[in-house]
Amino acid sequence: MKTLRHFIVLIFLASPSIALEEVYLEPNQFIKNSFETEPEIKTVWLKKEIKADIKELTGLDYPGLRIRYWEVGNKRAWILEAIGKVKLITTGFLINDQSIEDMRVLIYRETHGYEVQYPFFRNQFKGLRFESQKSYKLNKKIDGISGATLSVNALTKLSKIALYLDTLVAQSEN
Amino acid sequence: MKLAYLIGILTSILFAHVYANETTEQKIHELQEQINLLASAIEDSSSTSNGWWDKTSIGGYGELHYNNKEGSNDVIDFHRFVLFVNHDYTDKIALFTELELEHALAGEGKEGEVELEQAFIRFALKDGYTADAGLFLVPVGLLNETHEPDTFFGVERNNVEKYIIPTTWWQAGIRISKDFGNGLTVDFAVTDGLKTEDGYIRGGRQKVANAIANDGAYILRAVYRGIPGLELGASLFQQDDLTQGSSADVEGTLSVFHLNYKKGGFGLKALTGSWDIDTDTEAKDQSGYYIEPSYTWDTDYGKVGVFYRVADYNYFKSDSNNQEEDTSFGINYYPTDYVVLKADITENKANNETLSLGVGYQF
DSSP designation for B162? I
A29 membership: H or E segment, kind and range: helix A27-34
Cis peptide before B168 (omega within 30 of 0): yes
Q: Per-residue pLDDT for B68 more than 90?
A: yes
Give me the residue spans of the domains in chain A: 24-173
- Its ipTM equals 0.71
Whether residue B144 sits in one domain with residue B36: no
How far is B275 from B282, CA to CA, in rounded Å?
12
Whether B174 and A6 lie within 8 Å, measured CB to CB:
no
Residue B33 lies in a domain: yes
Whether residue B70 sits in one domain with residue B27: no
Query: Which among B348, B342, B313, B314 is positioned nearest to B328, based on CA atoms?
Result: B348
Note down the domain range covering B322. 64-76+128-362
Question: What confidence score (pLDDT) does residue A109 get?
Answer: 78
How far is B259 from B232, CA to CA, in rounded Å?
5
Whether A65 and B42 lie within 8 Å, measured CB to CB:
yes
Whether B229 and A18 lie within 8 Å, measured CB to CB:
no
Cβ atoms within 10 A of the Cβ of B347, count? Answer: 15
Whether residue B70 sits in one domain with residue B2: no
Q: Per-residue pLDDT for B78 more than 50?
A: yes
User: Taking CB atoms and an 8 Å cutoff, what residues of chain B touch A42?
Assistant: none
Residue B214 lies in a domain: yes
Whether residue B249 sits in one domain with residue B194: yes
Question: What confidence score (pLDDT) does residue A16 get?
Answer: 46
Residue B44 lies in a domain: yes
CATH number, position B322:
2.40.160.10
Query: Which among A97, A98, A94, A108 is positioned nearest to A152, based on CA atoms?
Result: A108
How far is B295 from B331, CA to CA, in rounded Å?
10
Question: What confidence score (pLDDT) does residue A18 get?
Answer: 45
Residue B53 lies in a domain: no
Whether residue B140 sits in one domain with residue B44: no
B94 membership: H or E segment, kind and range: strand B93-102
The pLDDT tens digits of the residues spanning B188-216 come to 999 999 999 889 999 999 999 999 988 89
Torsion of CA B182, A120, A38, A173, to 10 degrees: -160
Residue B235 lies in a domain: yes
How far is A57 from A55, CA to CA, in rounded Å?
5
A7 close to B (CB below 8 A)? yes
Whether B240 and A2 lie within 8 Å, measured CB to CB:
yes
Residue B255 lies in a domain: yes
The tally of CA atoms less than 13 A away on the side-chain side of residue A55 is: 9
Q: How many CB pairs under 8 A join A and B?
A: 106
How far is B40 from B24, CA to CA, in rounded Å?
24
One-letter amino acid identity for A128? L
Residue B132 lies in a domain: yes
Cβ atoms within 10 A of the Cβ of A134, count? Answer: 7
- Which A positions 77-106 lie with beta carbon below 8 A of chain B? 85-87
- Report the gap between the CA of A18 and the closest CA in chain B (Å): 5
The tally of CA atoms less than 13 A away on the side-chain side of residue B225 is: 24
Query: Which among A47, A74, A70, A50 is positioned nearest to A60, based on CA atoms?
Result: A50
Whether B57 and A86 lie within 8 Å, measured CB to CB:
yes
The pLDDT tens digits of the residues spanning B212-234 come to 988 899 999 999 998 989 999 99
B126 close to A (CB below 8 A)? yes
**End-to-end alpha carbon distance in chain A:** 75
Query: Which among A151, A120, A3, A78 is positioned nearest to B194, based on CA atoms?
Result: A3
- Could you tell me which residues are beta bridge partners of residue B80? B63, B102
Tally of domains within chain B: 2
Residue in B39, B173, B183 closest to A115 by CB: B183
The pLDDT tens digits of the residues spanning A83-96 come to 887 778 899 999 99
- Report the gap between the CA of A111 and the closest CA in chain B (Å): 9
Whether residue B142 sits in one domain with residue B27: no
Least confident of A120-124, B139-143, B322-326: A120-124
Let me know: does A67 contact A42? Beta carbons within 8 Å: no
